[in-house]
Each structure stands twice: as structure tokens, then as C-alpha cells.
């Protein structure tokens, strides 16, 4: 078949409520050149497939070829499974990931594609506008305001990728080098696992500083099914692998619940590297030590005579 420049990767599961708006936005992309839409329907029980078929004629007329497939099993395969299938059946040299409940701005594919051509081994994201407005306000402000340096440094302290999955665009070559999405299904943060693997392989993280996606918040979103504990354990494992393994000793800047939780989550070898817990809370400082209940070693006191307040600690959880 024809090798196209860009493929929009659209996994679909019971999304008929959102699809008209999503596909209209695909139709109105201001791209120049070849583009296709690759849709995989993951056993939807609503009329998602009919909505997609209805739009395919208009898309083809606009010069956007469509590849549509899916399955009718009793159970959906999950987000990772459907993304992998949509990628496998696509032909574009660059892959633009789109969630069925989000809406792309007309410049999205063009601007992120241009950034990907300049950064062929990077995951490219963009700024977003949250809908409904005001939902997850702090989180939205955070993902939109990270500096280029923080896109890399905050991977260890964030609850997910520093550029969010619904905004990703990358080259097919890079996607194949990183490997496919995890297909564990419900409760598996396939985006975070892929993001970590991309970083392990030396990949970059880049954000186009234009708002190119309306990012919808609702109770049915797949991200709601991932447990915070799962994310925590993956983050700590990645931190130990990439950072703590290189250090002979370190202090934990937080003597409260989060700091103690981090300590408990570390391997025995990395626990031994902890020299002190640092904090600005007088009550915690006055206590002077932390007794780890499962420790095989007698507790020792780590008295902190003075701790200067640091507004930007090098590591905080």
C-alpha cells in the first residue's frame, strides 16, 4: 500500500457519544500532504462503528484515507491492545495518538509533526485545554507549564508521563524501537510503561507550546481504572533504576507520610543509602528519628540541629 506521512491512531470503545466532535476535528486538520485515520473498535456495544463508517466518506473526500477494523468479542482487549492494533494496520511514518473523547485543534497534526521531524527520537506532546473547564485545574496547569528541563526531571515525581498520552505524536521508527504498548488491560498504565521504556532507550520528551487538544474529563475515562498504588510502585522502581542506583548516599526531603512511604518502598540496598530525612516542620525535626517497623537494625537518632527552608528541593515526593 501507499506509505503515508502521518497516521492518526484512534482506539475506540463505546465512544459514540464523543465521535462526531472527534472526527469533525480530524476532518478540519490544516495539514499539507498525506494523512490517514486508523481506527480500531475494541468490541464496542454502542453504535461507535456506525458513526465511524458514516464519517469515512467525508474523510476520504478530504484526502484522508481510513483504515477501520475491530472485533466483537464479549470482552474488550483494553487500551494498549487497541492502540497496538491501530498502529499495526496503519502506514504513516509518523503516528499521532488521539483519544475518541478528545478534540484536536486544526493545527495539531501539522505543528506536532514539524516538531517530530526535528526531534525524531522524542515523544512530542502539546498544551491542552481541560473540559469541563476547571476540572483537575492544578494538574492541567502543571502539564501545561513544565519547562523543557522539567519534562525530563519531573518524570520521577509525577503521577504519569510529563507529556500526557492523548497528546502524543512520534515517528513510527521510534515507536517500533521502544516496543508496543503493554496489553495487560484494565488497571495497567500502558502509557507510563511506554514512556519509561522510551526514556531508557535515550528518547527525548518535547512539548509544542500551543494548546492543540481539548482534553476531556469524565468518569468513564480509562485512566480512572489505574490504581494510585500501581503508579507509585512503578515510579519508585524507575527512580531506583535510573537515579538511586548511581548514588552512594542521599537524604529524603520529607519526613512526613510521603517521605516515610518512599523509604518503605525502597530496596534494602537503597534504604541503607538514606542518611537523613529533611523537613521544615519543627515537630518532625524535634522528634529526630524515624523508626521503621520492619527494620532489622536498632533505630539510630538522626538529629537535625537546623534545617534551612528550601523552596525548590532537589528531590521531593
For helices 190-200 and 228-242, what crossing angle results, to 10°?
A: 10
Is there a single domain that holds both residue 192 and residue 252? no
Q: Is residue 236 part of a domain?
A: no
Q: Which of 137-151, 158-172, 249-263, 293-307 is predicted with the least confidence, judged by mean pLDDT?
A: 293-307
* Residue pLDDT, tens place only, 202-212: 999 999 999 99
**Residue 294 confidence (pLDDT):** 62
Is there a single domain that holds both residue 59 and residue 205? yes
CA separation for the pair 99, 168 (Å, rounded): 10
Out of 193, 225, 257, pick the residue that ends a domain.
225
* Residue pLDDT, tens place only, 213-233: 999 986 666 556 788 999 999
C-alpha cell at 283: 515537630
Kindly tell me if the per-residue pLDDT of 27 is higher than 60.
yes
Name the most confidently modeled range: 47-56, 219-228, 292-301: 47-56
Q: Is residue 232 part of a domain?
A: no
**Residue 317 confidence (pLDDT):** 42
Kindly tell me if the per-residue pLDDT of 283 is higher than 80.
no
For helices 48-61 and 16-27, what crossing angle results, to 10°?
A: 10
* Residue pLDDT, tens place only, 105-123: 999 999 999 999 999 999 9
**Residue 306 confidence (pLDDT):** 32
Out of 225, 254, 285, pick the residue that ends a domain.
225
Is there a single domain that holds both residue 198 and residue 70? yes
Is there a single domain that holds both residue 169 and residue 94? yes
Is there a single domain that holds both residue 96 and residue 213? yes
**Is-contact 70 7, C-beta < 8 A?**
no
Q: pLDDT-based confidence at 265, cuts 50/70/90?
A: very high
**Residue 199 confidence (pLDDT):** 98
Q: Is residue 44 part of a domain?
A: yes
Is there a single domain that holds both residue 256 and residue 313? yes
Kindly tell me if the per-residue pLDDT of 288 is higher than 80.
no
Of the chain, the percentage scoring pLDDT greater than 90 comes to: 76
**Residue 133 confidence (pLDDT):** 81
Kindly tell me if the per-residue pLDDT of 42 is higher than 90.
yes
Q: What is the DSSP string of the chain?
A: ----SEEEEEEESS-HHHHHHHHHHHHT----S-EEEEEEEES-SSSHHHHHHHHHHHHHHTTEEEEEEEE--SS---HHHHHHHHHHT---SEEEE--TT-EE-TTHHHHHHHHHHHSTTEEEEEEEEEESTTTTHHHHHHHHH--TTHHHHGGGTSSS-SS-GGG-EEEHHHHHHH-PPP---TT--HHHHHHHHHHHTT-EEEEEEEEEEEEE--TT-GGGGS-HHHHHHHHHHHHHHHTGGG-S-EEEE--SHHHHHHHHHS-HHHHTTEEEEE-S-HHHHHH-----TT-SS-------S-----SS-S---
Q: Is residue 107 part of a domain?
A: yes
Is there a single domain that holds both residue 140 and residue 78? yes
Structure pTM? 0.88
For the chain, how many structural domains are there in total?
A: 2
Is there a single domain that holds both residue 128 and residue 171? yes
- For residue 157, give its domain range: 6-225
Is there a single domain that holds both residue 260 and residue 162? no
Task: Provide the mean pLDDT of the chain.
Answer: 89
Mean pLDDT over 13-42 rounds to 96
- Radius of gyration over every alpha carbon of the chain, rounded to an integer in angstroms: 22
Q: Is residue 308 part of a domain?
A: yes
Is there a single domain that holds both residue 12 and residue 150? yes
Out of 159, 194, 225, pick the residue that ends a domain.
225
* Better-scored residue on pLDDT, 311 or 126: 126
Q: Is residue 114 part of a domain?
A: yes
For residue 96, the domain's CATH number is 3.90.550.10
Kindly tell me if the per-residue pLDDT of 300 is higher than 60.
no
C-alpha cell at 179: 516496543
Q: Is residue 235 part of a domain?
A: no
Is there a single domain that holds both residue 152 and residue 282? no
Dihedrals phi, psi of 275, to nearest 5 degrees: -90, -30
Is there a single domain that holds both residue 278 and residue 151? no
* Better-scored residue on pLDDT, 255 or 298: 255
**Residue 297 confidence (pLDDT):** 53
Q: Is residue 238 part of a domain?
A: no
**Is-contact 95 66, C-beta < 8 A?**
no
Amino acid at each position: 500500500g501507499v506509505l503515508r506521512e502521518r497516521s492518526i491512531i484512534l482506539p475506540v470503545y463505546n465512544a459514540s457519544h464523543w465521535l462526531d466532535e472527534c472526527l469533525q476535528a480530524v476532518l478540519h486538520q490544516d495539514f499539507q500532504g498525506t494523512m490517514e485515520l486508523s481506527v480500531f473498535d475494541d468490541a464496542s456495544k454502542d453504535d461507535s462503528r456506525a458513526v465511524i463508517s458514516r464519517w469515512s466518506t467525508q474523510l476520504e473526500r478530504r484526502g484522508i484515507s481510513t483504515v477501520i477494523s475491530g472485533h466483537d468479542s464479549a470482552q474488550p482487549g483494553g487500551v494498549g491492545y487497541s492502540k497496538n492494533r491501530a498502529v499495526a494496520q496503519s502506514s504513516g511514518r509518523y503516528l499521532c495518538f488521539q483519544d475518541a473523547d478528545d478534540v484536536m485543534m486544526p493545527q495539531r497534526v501539522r505543528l506536532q509533526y514539524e516538531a517530530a521531524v526535528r526531534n525524531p527520537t522524542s515523544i512530542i506532546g502539546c498544551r491542552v485545554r481541560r473540559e469541563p473547564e476547571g476540572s483537575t485545574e492544578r494538574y492541567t496547569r502543571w502539564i501545561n507549564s513544565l519547562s523543557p528541563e522539567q519534562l525530563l526531571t519531573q518524570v520521577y515525581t509525577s503521577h504519569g508521563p510529563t507529556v500526557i498520552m492523548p497528546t502524543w505524536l512520534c515517528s513510527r521508527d521510534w515507536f517500533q524501537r521502544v516496543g508496543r504498548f503493554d496489553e495487560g488491560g484494565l488497571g495497567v498504565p500502558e502509557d507510563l510503561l511506554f514512556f519509561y521504556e522510551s526514556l531508557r532507550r535515550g528518547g527525548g520528551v518535547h512539548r509544542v507550546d500551543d494548546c492543540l487538544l481539548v482534553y476531556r474529563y469524565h468518569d468513564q475515562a480509562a485512566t480512572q481504572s489505574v490504581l494510585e498504588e500501581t503508579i507509585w510502585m512503578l515510579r519508585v522502581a524507575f527512580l531506583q533504576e535510573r537515579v538511586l542506583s548511581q548514588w552512594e548516599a542521599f537524604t529524603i526531603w520529607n519526613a512526613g507520610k510521603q517521605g516515610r512511604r518512599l523509604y518503605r518502598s525502597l530496596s534494602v540496598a537503597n534504604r541503607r543509602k538514606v542518611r537523613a530525612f529533611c523537613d521544615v516542620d519543627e515537630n518532625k525535626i524535634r522528634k529526630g528519628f524515624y523508626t521503621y517497623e520492619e527494620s532489622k537494625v536498632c533505630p539510630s537518632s538522626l538529629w537535625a540541629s537546623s534545617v534551612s527552608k528550601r523552596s525548590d528541593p532537589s528531590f521531593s515526593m
